[in-house]
Amino acid sequence: MTETTAEPDFEVIVIGGGIAGCVTAYQLARQGRSVLLIERGEAPGSKNLSGGVLYSRGIQQVFPGFLTEAPVERRITRNYISFLNTDSAVAIDYRDARLADPVNAVTVLRAKLDAWLSEKCEEAGAMIMPGVRVDRALTEGTRVVGVQAGDDQLRAHVVVAADGVNSFIAREAGLRGKDPLNHLAVGVKSVISLPRETIEQRFNLTGDEGAALAVVGDCTQGVGGGGFLYTNLDSLSVGIVVRLDDLTAKQKVVTDIFDHFLQHQFIAPYLENGELLEYGCHLVAEGGLHMVGEIVMDGMVVVGDAAGLTLNTGLTVRGMDLAVGSAVAAAEAVGDALDRKDTSKAALARYRDKLFASYVGQDMKTYAKAPRFLEVERMYNQYGELLANVLYGTFNLDTQPRQHLLKVARKSLARSPLKMRQLVRDGMAGARAL
C-alpha cells in the first residue's frame, strides 16, 4: 500500500449530499470517523426535483424511527400499472393491506428528505460543507488522496463519490467511461399542488395511504420509456422517463412528450385545477447491471447513482433504496479499511463484495435482462392496443351472439401487426427478464 505522507484533513470525504452520500456519511460518522460531506447545492436537497417512491425497508434499518421522524409523504398501498392507448387504457389496479403493515414503500419529496438526512449526518458528527463544487479528485500516482474545490485542497484517506448518474469524479478517475445512449434516459418531472382531500378522493385513498401509477404506451408517443404519477400529502409527482437513444432516433422533443402525457384524456383528470410547483429535467441511468462498472480504486469508492445503481423492471422503478444499500455496504467496507490502515483498492474491494452479497447486487443480477427486454418497441404501442381490442370484443355487447374469449383474442391478433411468434418470443423473454 502507498499512503500519502501528508496529514489528511478528514478520514473520509463524501462528494454529494443525496441519499447515497448522506447515508454513507451518517454511517461512518456513527463509527466515530471524521467525515466531511460536500454538497454543490446551497443545502442538501436544494438541487433535487420532485420525489418518488422509496422502498423503505432498507432505510428503516439505518434509521429505526424513519417512518415517524422523516418527512415521508404517503405509504404506498396501491400500485396501478397501465397500458395507455390514444382512446383506451388497460390496467392492473393492485391494492393490498399487507403493503401497509409493515410499511413497504413511501412517497418522498427529495428536497425535504435530503435536508432531513443531512441533519442526521450533523447529529452523528459529520461536517457538512454546502455550496461547494468539487472540481476534481486529488491523486498521487494511482491513489485518490482528496479533492480540489476551487483554490482549496482537502485531503482524506478515502473519498466517496456520490455525485449522481453523470459522476464526473468517477469518469475523471477512469472508473466510468462514456455510457451508450441506451443506458441513459431523460426524465421530465413536475410537482403539482392539490388539496389533500382532492387527492384522496381522486385516487380513492384514506389517511396516509398512497398510490403509485406506472404507465406505458401512448404516454411517451411510442418512444421507449414510461410515465408515472405518485401521490404526496398535498401534491402529485408526475413525469416521464424516455430512453435517450430512442428519443434521438425518433427525433422527438422530450418536453413535447411530457406535455402530451399531462394532457392525455386518462391522465388530465387527476391533475385538474392543480398548481405547478416544480418543473425540470435530468438524466436517469437505465442500463441496470451492465451499467455498474468499476466502483473501487485506491482511496476511493463510488456509490448510488454514480455507480449506475438503478433498476427499472417496468413494474417497479428503483434507485433510492439501492442508494441506501450501497451506502451501507460502502460504509462497512471503508470502516474496515480504516481500521486496518489499508485503503488500497484490494482492501476497499470488500465494498463490492458486500454490495453484491446484499439485496442490491442480488436484485441487479436477477433483473440483469430487464433493460434489454424493455427496449422491445412493441411494448409501447402494439401490446396495449391488442389488449384493448380483446377486451373491447368482450365488453362490447352489440346484440350479436358472443364468442369465446380465445376466439376473440385470435381475431384481435389477426388484425394486429403483432405475430404469434413475436408474442411467444416476447413472453419467454419477459419471463426470463422479470
86-95 pLDDT per residue, tens: 999 999 999 9
pTM value is 0.94
Residue among 68, 49, 52 at smallest CA distance from 105: 52
Q: How many CB atoms lie within 10 A of CB 397?
A: 7
For the chain, first and last CA: distance in Å? 43
- DSSP code for 205: -
Q: How many CB atoms lie within 10 A of CB 403?
A: 13
Strand partners, 300: 159, 297
Return d(Cα 38, Cα 371) in angstroms, integer: 32
425 confidence band (pLDDT: 50, 70, 90):
very high
Helices 110-124 & 19-30 angle (0-180, nearest 10): 20
Residue type, 228: F
Return d(Cα 276, Cα 235) in angstroms, integer: 9
Residue type, 399: T
Return d(Cα 405, Cα 399) in angstroms, integer: 17
49 confidence band (pLDDT: 50, 70, 90):
low
Considering the chain, what is the average pLDDT of its residues?
Answer: 94
Helices (DSSP H) in 38-138: which residue ranges? 57-62, 66-69, 110-124
Helix or strand run (H / E) with residue 270: helix 268-271
Return d(Cα 41, Cα 323) in angstroms, integer: 19
Q: How many CB atoms lie within 10 A of CB 46?
A: 16
pLDDT tens digit sequence for 369-380: 999 999 899 989
Cα→Cα distances 290→84, 308, 344, Å: 29, 9, 25
* b/e 284-317 (16+ beta carbons within 10 angstroms → b): bbbbbbbbbeebbbbbbbbbbbbbbbbbbbbebb
pLDDT tens digit sequence for 212-246: 999 999 999 999 999 999 999 999 999 999 999 99
- Cα 271 from chain centre: 23
Number of residues that make up the chain: 434
Q: Where do we find the cell 427486454?
A: 373
Q: Where do we find the cell 399531462?
A: 262
Is there a contact between 20 and 323 (Cβ–Cβ < 8 Å)? yes
pLDDT tens digit sequence for 85-139: 999 999 999 999 999 999 999 999 999 999 999 999 999 999 999 999 999 999 9
1 confidence band (pLDDT: 50, 70, 90):
very low
Task: Take residue 417 and report the three cell numbers written for it.
Answer: 401487426
Residue 4 has pLDDT above 60, yes or no: no
Return d(Cα 52, Cα 326) in angstroms, integer: 19
- Cα 10 from chain centre: 30
Helix (H, G, I), strand (E, B) or coil at 234: coil
What is the pLDDT averaged over residues 382-409? 92
pLDDT at 6: 65
Strand partners, 282: 187
Which residues touch 152 (CB under 8 Å, ≥6 apart)?
A: none
Q: How would DSSP label each residue in 382-428?
A: HHHHHHHHHHHHHH---SSPP--HHHHHHHHHHHSS--HHHHHHHHH
φ, ψ dihedrals at 277, nearest 5°: -105, -40
Proportion of the chain above pLDDT 90, given as a percent:
87
